[in-house]
Amino acid sequence: MPDRAAYLRAVFDAAPEAMVIIDERGRIEGFSPAAERQFGYPAADVVGRNVSLLMPSPYREEHDGYLHRYLTTGERRIIGIGRVVVGQRRDGSTFPMELSVAEARPSGRRIFVGFIRDLTEAQTTRARMQELQQELLHASRLRTTGQMAATMAHELNQPLTAAANYLRGAQRLLDMPQADLARVRDALSLAAQQALRAGDIIRRLRSFVARGEVQSRRESVNMLIEEASALALLGAKERSIHASHRIAADLPDVMVERVQVQQVLLNLMRNAIEAMDGMPRRELTVEAVAEGEDVRVSVADTGPGLPAEVAAQLFQPFVTTKPDGMGIGLSICRTIVESHGGRIWAEANPGGGTVFRFTLPRVADPA
């Protein structure tokens, strides 16, 4: 090879994937032109600074700890594994990125090379794949909801018709000159039985919806949130969302079905992002705190707040203000949260916008 240093330099400069090289203490030593484009910093402004400046909170504050833990215990979270995480540009906006980190030891020193692909700029096929996946999910929900509605209508019709008939009969008996009160009483008690039967059917359907098919596992709330945010930002048309996560230190784990809880987070974050469309401030804040026996997660936005007609029947199916909305996202969120033994509700965000909160039971013992 002619001049190895110049050769490597040319590769570094030309690589389409962003490369960030850090030393053992997390200080940036190399920042490729692709990284300059992705993060919006000229290399000269970041070389020598801590790499955590490329991450939103709380990862920013935690990064030194991770690095230290890796160096002392060898515990890997990203190094050699690769993950989808959230990056932060110079202007504070956030974006989903695929990060893989390699470790190298040039002349005895230890360095880490991060390869970063901005997923907002990834091939349109990827976006299309996501869209398709969403559509699929949407279609299957639609089908289940449609089936449920049909079954419910069919099953409920019988006892309700019967109850109405008994009541009408009772009315006719009372209209007769010498009303036979014993027969009236019989008719009323038969009507009551039918009404109770209708109640049973509803209860059965409800337990069917929340059927214990969940395969719960112990999960880290931090990880659930980080992954779901990257996915939510991936679907966002709006690019200047300032996403931040506030996750309490030493938060207990939760016992949940990961995909379902991420579906809840994804729905809430997508709603929040859509609500902030065209607003001057677009701040998405996800928070998690321990509270008694629960972990409480909040998704806050700086959108226009809940429309009055929606607030009055929040979490009911088919309530929507969007031209192409289905209005079942929130009702599904409620079903999922409640089947995990939690609660979900919404509040006005004091600074403007909406906060959705839900709880999940924490695991008893510390990790």
Q: Please, which of residues 187-246 interact with ligand ADP by CB under 6 A?
A: none
Q: Is 320 in the site for ligand ADP (CB under 6 A)?
A: yes
| Residue closer to ligand ADP (CB basis): 63 or 270 | 270
> Which of 271, 285, 302, 335 is close enough to bind ligand ADP by CB under 6 A?
271
Residue type at position 189: S
| Residue closer to ligand ADP (CB basis): 271 or 285 | 271
Q: Is 327 in the site for ligand ADP (CB under 6 A)?
A: yes
SS3 assignment for 27-59: EEEEECHHHHHHHCCCHHHHCCCEHHHHCCCCH
- CB of residue 206 to ligand ADP, shortest distance in Å: 18
> Binding marks (x or -) toward ligand ADP, 344..363, rule CB under 6 A?
----------x---------
| Residue closer to ligand ADP (CB basis): 14 or 137 | 137
User: Which residues touch 156 (CB under 8 Å, ≥6 apart)?
Assistant: 198, 201, 202
| Chain CA centroid to CA 181, Å | 59
- CB of residue 167 to ligand ADP, shortest distance in Å: 36
Q: Which residue has the tokens 């992002």?
A: 273
A 10 A CB-CB count for 45 gives 15
Give the up-direction half-sphere exposure of residue 344: CA atoms within 13 A in the CB hemisphere. Answer: 23
DSSP letter (8 states) at residue 253? P
| Residue closer to ligand ADP (CB basis): 20 or 300 | 300
Residue in 258, 257, 260, 270 with CA at minimum distance from that of residue 231: 270
Q: Is 330 in the site for ligand ADP (CB under 6 A)?
A: yes
- CB of residue 356 to ligand ADP, shortest distance in Å: 7
Q: Is 343 in the site for ligand ADP (CB under 6 A)?
A: no
End-to-end CA distance of the chain: 51
From residue 314, give the alpha-carbon distance in Å to each of 179, 288, 311, 328, 356: 47, 22, 5, 10, 11
Residue in 104, 121, 124 with CA at minimum distance from that of residue 18: 121
- CB of residue 131 to ligand ADP, shortest distance in Å: 15
| Residue closer to ligand ADP (CB basis): 249 or 308 | 308
DSSP letter (8 states) at residue 165? H
* Stretch of residues binding ligand ADP (CB under 6 A), selected from 44-52, 218-226, 258-266, 319-327: 319-327
Inter-residue contact 159 to 204 (CB < 8 Å): no
Instruction: Please list the alpha-helical segments (H only) found in the chain.
Output: 4-14, 33-39, 43-46, 59-73, 124-175, 181-209, 221-234, 258-275, 308-311, 329-339
Q: Is 334 in the site for ligand ADP (CB under 6 A)?
A: no
- CB of residue 168 to ligand ADP, shortest distance in Å: 39
Q: Please, which of residues 290-309 interact with ligand ADP by CB under 6 A?
A: 301, 303, 306-307
| Residue closer to ligand ADP (CB basis): 285 or 359 | 285
| Residue closer to ligand ADP (CB basis): 54 or 284 | 284
- CB of residue 283 to ligand ADP, shortest distance in Å: 12
Residue type at position 78: I
> Which of 326, 352, 361, 363 is close enough to bind ligand ADP by CB under 6 A?
326
- CB of residue 144 to ligand ADP, shortest distance in Å: 15
* Residues making contact with ligand ADP (CB under 6 A): 267, 271-272, 275, 301, 303, 306-307, 310, 319-322, 325-330, 354
